[in-house]
Structure 1
Amino acid sequence: MRLLIAGGGTGGHIYPGIAIARHLTLTDKNAAITFVGTKNGMEADLVVREGFTFRAIRAQGWSRKISIKTLSMLLNNSIGVLQALNIIREFKPDVVLGTGGYVAAPLVFAAALLKIPIVLHEQNAVPGITNRFLSRWASKVALSFNESKKFFPSHVKMEVTGNPVREALFQVDKKEGIKKLNLSEHKKTVLVFGGSRGARRINDAIIEGAKNLLSIDKLQLIHLTGQDDYKYVLDQLQKKGIQLDLNGNIVIKPYLYEMENALAAADLVVCRAGATTLAELTALGKASILIPYPYATDNHQEKNARALEAEGAAYVIKDSELTGKILTDLIIKLIEDNELLSRMARNSRKLGQPDAVIRIVKCLRDAVSNR
Structure 2
Amino acid sequence: MKIVVSGGGTGGHIYPALALIREIKKENKEASFLYIGTEKGLESKLVPMGNIPFQSIHITGFKRKLSIENFKTIMRFFKGVQKSKKVLKEYKPDVVIGTGGYVCGPVVYAAAKLGIPTIIHEQNSVPGLTNKFLSRYVDRVAICFEEAKQYFPAEKVVLTGNPRASEVLGQDGVSGRNSVGLNQNLPAVLIFGGSRGARPINDAVLNSLALLSGKPYQVLYVTGDVHYEKVKKEAEMIGNPENVIIKPFVHNMPEVLAGIDLAVSRAGATSLAELTSLGVPSILIPSPYVTNNHQEKNARALSDHGAAELLLESDLSSEKLIEKIDEILLKPQKLAKMKTEAKKLGIPDAANRLSKVMKEITK
Q: Could you say which TM-score interval applies, normalised by the shorter chain?
A: over 0.9
- Map of 1:127 onto structure 2: 127
Give the Cα separation in 1 of the matches to 2:165 and 2:293.
26
Which segment drifts farther, 13-22 or 178-187?
178-187
Trace 1:248-267 onto structure 2 (pairs within 5 A): 248-267=242-261
- Map of 2:286 onto structure 1: 292
Structure 1 position 179, deviation (Å): 2.2
Structure 1 position 95, deviation (Å): 0.6
Give the Cα separation in 2 of the matches to 1:37 and 1:19.
16
Is residue 143–residue 159 contact of structure 1 (8 Å, CA) maintained in 2? yes
Is residue 97–residue 118 contact of structure 1 (8 Å, CA) maintained in 2? yes
- Map of 1:185 onto structure 2: 184
Is residue 187–residue 218 contact of structure 2 (8 Å, CA) maintained in 1? yes
Calculate the TM-score normalised by the size of structure 2.
Answer: 0.97
Trace 1:79-158 onto structure 2 (pairs within 5 A): 79-154=79-154, 156-158=155-157
- Map of 1:37 onto structure 2: 37
- Length, aligned pairs only: 363
- Map of 1:11 onto structure 2: 11
- Map of 2:339 onto structure 1: 345
Q: Deviations over 1:253-273 (max 9, x none)?
A: 110111123212210000000
Give the Cα separation in 2 of the matches to 1:2 and 1:271.
37
Give the Cα separation in 1 of the matches to 2:260 and 2:272.
14
Distance 1:125 1:166, change over 3 A: closer
The amino acid across from 1:113 in the alignment is K
Give the Cα separation in 1 of the matches to 2:180 and 2:314.
32
- Map of 1:364 onto structure 2: 358
- Map of 1:219 onto structure 2: 217
Structure 1 position 64, deviation (Å): 4.3
Structure 1 position 140, deviation (Å): 0.7
- Map of 1:238 onto structure 2: 236
Give the Cα separation in 1 of the matches to 2:64 and 2:231.
38
Structure 1 position 215, deviation (Å): 1.3
Q: Which runs of 4+ in 1 moved over 4 A?
A: none
Structure 1 position 66, deviation (Å): 3.4
Give the Cα separation in 2 of the matches to 1:121 and 1:153.
14
Give the Cα separation in 1 of the matches to 2:308 and 2:134.
32
Structure 1 position 219, deviation (Å): 0.8
Q: Deviations over 1:319-368 (max 9, x none)?
A: 11111110011112211101101110111011000001100011111111
Give the Cα separation in 1 of the matches to 2:62 and 2:250.
33
- Map of 2:164 onto structure 1: 165
The amino acid across from 2:193 in the alignment is G
Which segment drifts farther, 280-289 or 181-190?
181-190
Give the Cα separation in 1 of the matches to 2:12 and 2:205.
25
Give the Cα separation in 2 of the matches to 1:258 and 1:42.
19
Give the Cα separation in 2 of the matches to 1:93 and 1:265.
40
The amino acid across from 1:142 in the alignment is A
Is residue 191–residue 220 contact of structure 2 (8 Å, CA) maintained in 1? yes
Q: Deviations over 1:5-42 (max 9, x none)?
A: 11111111111111111111111122011111101101
Is residue 25–residue 31 contact of structure 1 (8 Å, CA) maintained in 2? yes
Give the Cα separation in 1 of the matches to 2:115 and 2:65.
31
Give the Cα separation in 2 of the matches to 1:153 and 1:261.
37
Give the Cα separation in 2 of the matches to 1:289 and 1:51.
36
Q: Deviations over 1:196-216 (max 9, x none)?
A: 110011111111111111211
RMSD value over aligned CA atoms?
1.3
Is residue 222–residue 262 contact of structure 1 (8 Å, CA) maintained in 2? no
Counting aligned pairs with the same residue, the percent is: 43
Q: Deviations over 1:32-65 (max 9, x none)?
A: 1111110110111111112211111111112344
Q: Secondary structure of 1:142's match?
A: strand
Is residue 3–residue 95 contact of structure 1 (8 Å, CA) maintained in 2? yes
Structure 1 position 318, deviation (Å): 0.6
Calculate the TM-score normalised by the size of structure 1.
Answer: 0.95
The amino acid across from 1:33 in the alignment is F
Q: Deviations over 1:147-183 (max 9, x none)?
A: 11111234x4111111111654223232222222222
Please, which runs of 5 or more residues in structure 1 have no aligned partner?
none
- Map of 2:207 onto structure 1: 208
Structure 1 position 315, deviation (Å): 0.3
Give the Cα separation in 1 of the matches to 2:319 and 2:53.
48
Is residue 63–residue 73 contact of structure 1 (8 Å, CA) maintained in 2? no
Give the Cα separation in 1 of the matches to 2:171 and 2:75.
47
Give the Cα separation in 1 of the matches to 2:225 and 2:205.
16
Q: Secondary structure of 1:251's match?
A: strand
Give the Cα separation in 2 of the matches to 1:176 and 1:253.
17
Q: Secondary structure of 1:121's match?
A: strand
